[in-house]
Amino acid sequence: MRYVQEQCTLIYKEEIAKGVFSFTLKAPQIALRAECGQFVNVLCDPFQLRRPISIGGFDADAGILRLVFEVRGKGTDWLASLEDGATVDLLGPLGHGFPLMASDKKAVMIGGGIGTPPLLPLCRRYGKNATLISGFRTASAVILKEDAEAFGARNVVCTDDGTSGFAGFTTQALEEELKNGTFDVVYTCGPKIMMKKVAELAKAYDIPCYVSMEERMACGVGACLGCACKTKKEDGSSAMTRVCMNGPVFEASEVDFE
């Protein structure tokens, strides 16, 4: 069993956009085991079911873990109410993360809104060879630009209303990038409709593509089937797969986006 249950200390909480929080935690056991694209299951004290949150950063040497989450309901609202010094009960790291190429390969990452945090460790991994395309409703909702750039990554911000960066969808920005540059690998996390289009573009340009599926979850460790999603087998038939165990990252051609 590679995952552990760890009582972690919240070192620094910051509201980085309205309703979006960044937690920096002392979590040496989980940070030591973490890989890009994995997640932790967070105990939100009054609720029995843990909430899955992607690992938005980890430093094994310093024993530090970063989580970035949006308040969506009762669990994340409770989590956001914690203050520095609080203890947070985490189970992790869970799931299969993003397959990595050599760090001198050129990677393009496409994040839709709160799907952007799991791509941040990839910015660290690929550094100046990383291009992050991240999409938000409006300028005030933009997150993680400085963090991605601090790792040397180029960040193309897209907003629906054109108040910051490229006015339009991330998939339009990706199309431009693919026309004008060469990439060795594509990674994406965000709304299914966005990831479907990203997968189609990657296929058209014959680039390997990995998608992170953020299905609703319950146990997070393969016991309840609450996270099953449709995947394609090699013979073209469909199968149901547990995202918490076999994902959240899948090779794009395995996923049935319909």
Ligand X SMILES: Cc1cc2nc3c(=O)[nH]c(=O)nc-3n(C[C@H](O)[C@H](O)[C@H](O)COP(=O)(O)OP(=O)(O)OC[C@H]3O[C@@H](n4cnc5c(N)ncnc54)[C@H](O)[C@@H]3O)c2cc1C
Nearer to ligand FES, 2 or 18 (CB): 2
Is residue 220 near ligand FES by the rule CB under 6 A? yes
Considering the rule CB under 6 A, would residue 224 count as an interface residue with ligand FES?
A: yes
Least distance to ligand X from the beta carbon of 76, Å? 3
Residues 22, 110: Cα–Cα separation, whole Å: 20
CB under 5 to 8 A by kind: which of ligand X, ligand FES, none does 202 bind?
none
- How far separated are the first and last CA of the chain, in Å rounded? 33
The reply to whether 70 sits near ligand X by the rule CB under 6 A is yes
Q: Which amino acid is at 141?
A: A
Among 9, 12, 74, 182, binds ligand X (CB under 6 A): 74
Reference 212, options 92, 96, 56; nearest CA is 96
Per DSSP, 154 falls in state: E
Q: With respect to ligand FES, which residue has the nearer C-beta, 11 or 49?
A: 49
Print the SS3 string covering 120-182: HHHHHHHHHHEEEEEEECCHHHCCCHHHHHHCCCEEEEEECCCCCCEECCHHHHHHHHHHHCC
Residue 190 touches which member of ligand FES, ligand X, none, C-beta under 5-8 Å by kind: none
The least distance separating ligand FES from the CB of residue 176, rounded to whole angstroms, comes to 37
Q: What sign does the CA torsion over 220, 223, 229, 233 have?
A: positive
Question: Does the footprint of ligand FES cover residue 226 (CB under 6 A)?
Answer: yes
**Site membership for ligand X, residue 73 (CB under 6 A):** yes
Q: Give the number of C-alpha atoms closer than 13 A to the C-alpha of residue 13, restricted to the C-beta side.
A: 17
Q: Which residues pair with 241 in a beta bridge?
A: 229
217 binds ligand X (CB under 6 A): yes
- Interacting residue ranges for ligand FES, rule: CB under 6 A: 217-220, 222-227, 242, 244
- Interacting residue ranges for ligand X, rule: CB under 6 A: 39, 49, 51-54, 56, 68-70, 72-76, 114, 117, 214-218, 248
